[in-house]
A and B are shown apart, each in its own frame.
Chain A
Amino acid sequence: MGLISNGTTVFDAGAMASGFGGSMVFIKKLTASSSSSLSFVNGSSDVVLDSTYKEYVFLYRDIHPSVDGPNLQVQFNDSSSNAVTKTSTSFYAYHAENDGTPQLVYVAGGDLAQATGPQPISLDITNQDDSSAVGYLHLFNPSSTTFAKHFIARGTHMHDNIAVLSDFYAGYCNTTSAVAEVVFNMQSGNMAAGDISLYGIA
């Protein structure tokens, strides 16, 4: 049953009509608890990661590593769970708690050149009790079978030199296959705590 008010369709077929709801649609939240990875797989556990939206946003909050100094990283897979090839850029702004070594630099250790390995999005996170990493990752039009799939990540975290690291990563999945899986994990150890939420931009 639909609902029409003054000639305007408000609800129909179990959904609110376009223009009534918000455009950032919550899809799924995963919570880490000594987790080796957090995976968002299209069609699994209520995850939507297909042509429904032109853009997906992952918000990661208070990701806390089990060991000192690993990178938080993300992997993009096709529908067969194969990691796709990526080229990316990486730079950060850095400032230590003791006021030392403020800098803005490109960091080759965080970029990829036609590689299938995971993409770092937070480098060298300390596992002090109050330390964590936060940020967001935008993935553009992952279902395209024409274009490379662009991504942009922006975050900040406590570095294991006891400093703030402001993170900037971007690049593209250099494939015309659709990206259907996004997997977050730590470079070593596990994700002791934290959560990641997935949103679609309608």
Chain B
Amino acid sequence: MGVISNGTTLLDAGALDSGIATGAMTLLSTVTASSSATVSFASGITSTYKEYIFKFYDVHPSADAADLTVNFRDGSSAYDATKTSSFFWAYHSEDDSDTTLNYASSNDLAQGTGVQPISSNPGYDNDQACSGTLHLFDPASTTFVKHFMAVSNSTEPGNYSINSYASGYCNVTAAIDGVQFKFESGNIDSGTFKMYGVK
């Protein structure tokens, strides 16, 4: 059944008409981790959207102080796209004894194919986790490199608040068609990951 109002088709065949205004940010997929080695978005990343946003909520590690990381798939089955990136962070201890804002070269990549850290050192105490956002721009382009930007906050095992900023590009002209999250060691004990498309 369709719905037509004053001669205008509002919806038909199970979909809103393309001329109907809706929100510009569309939830595409949700993955809930449970002792998961990886969380992968292996489909749905296409030319439909110019930007994809990944949200991660209360991601809790099985291993203490393992960075939450991301990697990108560029046409094969492996998540190993070549990347160059920058990374900086601010942190502050709960006892107010230590504050820092600096570039963290241990978390950047220079034409590396390994994982990109996006949230630093979340602890595995029961109330510790990390939350944040990753933007991936125009992953279907076969002309340009594919840029990404991430921001997050984490509770560190030594009782620090860590605010992490990672950005860079997949230095490939092949399309990026998959995104995978994992901790640098151990599993993702729990957490929610969501993928959105932005018109």
Contact = CB atoms under 8 A, between A and B. Distances in A.
Interface string B93-136: 11110011100000000000000000000000011111111000
Q: Which of B3, B58, B93, B154 has the most CB of A within 10 A?
A: B58
B163 A108 contact: no
Interface in B154-192: 154-155, 159-163, 192
A144 B58 contact: yes
Given A5-B12, A89-B91, A148-B155, A21 B58 contact: no
A52 interface: no
A10 B154 CA distance: 38
Contacts of A146: 58, 126-127
B50 interface: no
A148 B123 CA distance: 12
B153 A168 contact: no
Contacts of B26: 19, 22-23
Interface in A174-202: 174, 176, 201-202
- Which residue of B1, B22, B92 has the most chain A CB atoms within 10 A of its CB atom? B92
A5 B2 contact: yes
A18 B30 CA distance: 12
Contact of A20 (B22, B99, B192, B194): B22
Nearest to A174: B94
Interface of A is mostly: strand
Given A88-B92, A106-B99, A151-B153, A3 B163 contact: no
B94 A54 contact: no
A19 B197 CA distance: 11
A87 B94 CA distance: 6
B25 interface: yes
B52 to A, nearest CB: 12
A90 interface: yes
A111 interface: yes
Contact of A54 (B55, B126, B128, B129): B55
A24 B198 CA distance: 11
Contacts of A170: 90, 151, 153, 161, 163
B14 A171 contact: no
A93 to B, nearest CB: 11
A106 B12 contact: no
Interface in A12-45: 18-25
Interface in B1-45: 1-3, 11-16, 22-27
A61 interface: no
Contact of A22 (B2, B23, B101): B23
A134 B155 CA distance: 27
Given A6-B13, A170-B153, A113 B94 contact: yes
A139 to B, nearest CB: 10
A152 B132 CA distance: 8
A201 B23 CA distance: 11
B199 to A, nearest CB: 9
B15 A8 contact: yes
B127 A5 contact: no
19 contacts: A4-B1, A8-B15, A10-B16, A19-B26, A21-B22, A23-B27, A54-B192, A55-B55, A87-B160, A89-B91, A89-B101, A89-B163, A91-B90, A108-B99, A146-B126, A168-B163, A170-B163, A171-B153, A172-B153
Smallest CB-CB A-B distances: 4 pairs: A22-B23, A8-B14, A113-B96, A170-B163
